[in-house]
Chain A
Amino acid sequence: GAGVSQSPSNKVTEKGKDVELRCDPISGHTALYWYRQRLGQGLEFLIYFQGNSAPDKSGLPSDRFSAERTGESVSTLTIQRTQQEDSAVYLCASSFRLAGGRTDTQYFGPGTRLTVL
């Protein structure tokens, strides 16, 4: 597609339920990122995937959060036993990887707005 797409655009769930968020990166982008944007805050880095390398999970806030990526395509972010503090906009981004391990500009999807009641 032309840009990064995410689904669903909005998700309302009850506390304690599991949710799964999906990201389709730009075709050809080997790097994929998840961020979280809580109300009135900047974006927080959650996790980074690069090809077949082990992902950088250093930003995941708890073991209730996990993410997977199939090859260099779709990624899913799963939040188990959701809590009210998980309410936020979850943003996915993708980029090319440059020589020397650096990454190119990150392009963001429209986000999934998660509301936990």
Chain B
Amino acid sequence: GNSVTQMEGPVTLSEEAFLTINCTYTATGYPSLFWYVQYPGEGLQLLLKATKADDKGSNKGFEATYRKETTSFHLEKGSVQVSDSAVYFCARSGGSNYKLTFGKGTLLTVNP
């Protein structure tokens, strides 16, 4: 079946450090790929998405590129801020394109 594997946390960085959170997915069908973020005490929010191979999703300084050859969708940010502290979830859509399969989430803490 479909699955998503993302790097386990927690990840702790200093402000302005470079961030990478790895995510790989099973290569069945033609999924769309997503990163969702859950800030403390808030609901899940879409951070960015990519719908086909080689697409790059970007938002709030975060980027992720849909790599079909490596079945990856790694999240990157060049300079993190304290306000980026949250749990980040990688997800893929299913064969019918509506079921989302999520990774287990990565807790990011950014210290000043």
Contacts and interface: CB of A to CB of B under 8 A. Distances in A.
B101 A102 contact: no
B23 to A, nearest CB: 11
Contacts of B56: none
Nearest to A5: B43
B102 interface: yes
B82 interface: no
Interface string A51-80: 000001001000000000000000000000
A43 interface: yes
A101 B96 CA distance: 8
Given A40-B104, A42-B104, A105-B49, A48 B99 contact: yes
Dominant SS among interface residues on chain B: strand
A31 B46 contact: no
Interface in B57-100: 89, 91, 94, 96-100
Contacts of A40: 104
Interface string A99-112: 00111011111110
Given A42-B4, A48-B98, A101-B97, A111 B43 contact: yes
Among B97, B100, B104, the one with the most A-chain Cβ atoms within 10 Å of its Cβ is B100
Contacts of A56: 96, 98-99
Given A108-B44, A110-B42, A43 B102 contact: yes
Interface residues of A, number: 28
Contact of A105 (B43, B46, B103, B104): B46
A93 B45 CA distance: 10
A4 B46 CA distance: 13
Contacts of B42: 110
A36 to B, nearest CB: 11
B97 A107 contact: no
Interface of B: 4, 34, 36, 42-46, 49, 89, 91, 94, 96-105
Given A41-B104, A42-B101, A42-B102, 16 more contacts: A3-B43, A4-B43, A31-B98, A42-B103, A42-B105, A43-B89, A43-B100, A44-B102, A45-B99, A48-B99, A50-B98, A56-B98, A59-B99, A101-B97, A110-B43, A111-B43
